[in-house]
Structure 1
Amino acid sequence: MSVMRRRNRLVALAAASALVLGVAACGSDDGDSGSSAGGKPDKLVIETVGEFGYDELVKQYEKQSGIKIELRKTAQLNEYRPKIVRSLATGKGIADVVALEEGVLNEFKLNPTNWADLTPLVADHSKEYLPWKWELGKSGDGRLIGLPTDVGSLAVCYRSDLFKAAGLPTEREAVTALWPDWDKFIETGKKYRTATGKGMLDSVTTAASAISMQAGGDIFYDAEDNLIADKSPAVKTAWDTALKMVDANITAKTATWSPEWSAGFKQGTFAATFCPSWMLGIVRDNSGPENKGKWDVAGVPGGVGNWGGSWLAVPERGKHKAEAAKLAEFLTNASSQVAAFKLKGPLPTNLEALKNAEFQAYTDPYFNDAPTGKIFGGSVESIKPIHLGPKHQAVKEQAMEPALRAYENGEASAKAAWEQFTKDAVTQGAF
């Protein structure tokens, strides 16, 4: 694989950015929020991907501000990113507050002028969050373009009833002890397959994501944002371990985010998935009320890991940047982060929230009263910051995952799958 220099990518990006901004200048700002006679907006729109736990918080903000809040959610990141790009380019349907997931944050930071500098719009909160999380919300020119929301501390969500049927332990401490490392996790999956005839794990791609995120540091790009997908130790470890899982036949072969995957939670198609804190709400919603208490949360093989997390940004072309910044500030404060965690699971990055007694003592009734505050919160200090290059999400979802699924489904040999991945990574990682 040829290494593409960051300088060349920035030149290409600059040209693309000029085009986008040119289109934007000609377009009309027909966002959804209007203004009252006094200048205060009648409505503000929040755009998020996945579950952020804001459903009740926006109702609270409506009461205290008198502003109607519309919460727009997109389930999948590969649909969300193009939607945001289009709104920035055309001004049509642009939201007032936009969630930027870590997989696309660096790409958007390369053109920070699309985003308002929040520094003059909010109080100085720089000492209130995990230091590395706060710094990642800044662009290269020093603009604060994102206020920190969550971080994706890792665990394993598992169906205790299905484990019991397979003759495996069901108590979370005993389940955690089953897999101190990835080889032991594979052994457990083989036992589950022998007992049930089914795959224990949902998909090879969730495993690859979890393993690569555990390493910390560089994944698909090095510190200079050179594409290193075929040379990255984190990628190679994740790839080799994922192939071992396929060879051991421990997966249910459900493509992540597919309709079959979503239905599989409720139908018992698989008994485990790798579960960053934000995934709790997705597991709950997909599994339905009839499976309350059947799911539980155990430790992840190999210790901790950091998979996911976001920031709230305000588009520069938004009509009500000052009010939007206040809303983002409210949604990311300590009490709001605790409330969001209790509702949908996104793990706080606000230091006060992480020390909050209610957060630390919280047990999730859906997950068999698992002490999720302790399980996820206890690992935050051990999380290693990761470096995601500008097109990380595209390389992951359009190159690595399709190649792994091809091997998982018997459509490609290990050699052919690797060649497919490295070839597609060049295309997806380029600007």
Structure 2
Amino acid sequence: MPFTKTRLASTVLSTLLVLGLISSGANAAPSPTALTEAPAETLPLNDLRTFAEVLERIKTAYVEPIDDKTLFENAIKGMLSNLDPHSSYLEPDAFRELQESTSGEFGGLGIEVGLEDGILQVIAPIDDSPAAAAGLEAQDLIIKINDQPTKGMSLMKAVEQMRGKPGTSIRLTIARDGRKPFDVTLKRAIIKSTSVKSQLLEDGYGLIRISQFQVNTGAEVAKALAKLKKDNKGQALKGLILDLRNNPGGVLQAAVEVTDHFISSGLIVYTKGRIANAELRFSATAANASDDVPLVVLINGGSASASEIVAGALQDHKRAVVMGTDTFGKGSVQTVLPLNNDRALKLTTALYYTPSGRSIQAQGIVPDITVERAKISQEEHTLGVKEADLAGHLGNGNAAADKRAKTDKQQTPRLQDEDYQINQAINLLKGVNVLQGQKAP
């Protein structure tokens, strides 16, 4: 059928009706002539005509028949994917998986991804996931999925390809730090992410690791603080490390609740957007589950979104020393807006700001002390002679203590002996305690 002005006018009217730009009432539809005379500032008629013409050309000339529903859904996906890397149109499966991911159990590889210059980039692998076990790192570029290049691929399309039935395998081609690209084969699994883990390290120093911010993360941190105190024989901790490395973020309210455990007053975070309900402010309550324990927050390039809210707030309040490397820099808030037919929009609706008014969008949180990731290795001991090596040396009456110290050195390696950044955090906390102990009463 030839493409005529009459058919174009009809398609424009149909498009306007679908987009909700004119009423579908019997007396409301204007004539093609009226459309032409509509004010340009209120109705982008030229753009709508172009859209309608493209729609009609695809329907009549595309190599295979394609229905209107598919064309409009593709148009919606294109509208959202070109706004920013985090806005998207969620079809039923994707909407359901998003809801599952915030509750702590979902299927896939256990990896948070975004787009960097049109190429898929790892934001952070999730703890205890196939991605973490395979050694994927923050800022890795995924240049191929099962030999298909990701350049120009939409984020939603890439995520769909990486999802699949648990137990099935997928091959990713990774580019890292200018090295020659290499392949990694992963097996999909049901991801059961434990949001919070805690450990008493040594001499009254504790560690809380948050892998991502889920609905119950705030309550889990409160439990972890209580458990650390119990493990420390009921005594207050000498220092605490809050590990947010490779934490891709999650639920905003959970970040607020976690921060509230460490400060007793003041602003935690605020958001600014174009709509009224995007203007939010969150402040601390008087309760403080941490008992003002000296605090170091660890961050790196895989710390994003909610992680940056926590680190930025504690940094602004001078409540913690932030240590590590610059964070990812995702300072936007996404709101999930349910639609009909079990679909939803994930739409960027606001930017968030730290208490001092900093926006970290595309900049990130800069640590107070920069500590790069490194391996701990000790130099070989040179042959040396000490007093205790001399024949007939006098004892000091501390034989029992010496025996305990020797036994402790023979124990299995500690976490701080294998993780350089945690090691440095403990050293800093020890220094703080030494200085506080030297203060005059």
Would the TM-score normalized by the shorter structure come out above 0.5? Answer: no
- Between Structure 1 and Structure 2, which shows a larger proportion of helix residues? 1
Greater relative contact order (CA < 8 Å, ≥ 6 in sequence)? 1
Whose strand proportion is higher, 1 or 2? Answer: 2
| TM-score category, normalised to shorter length | under 0.3
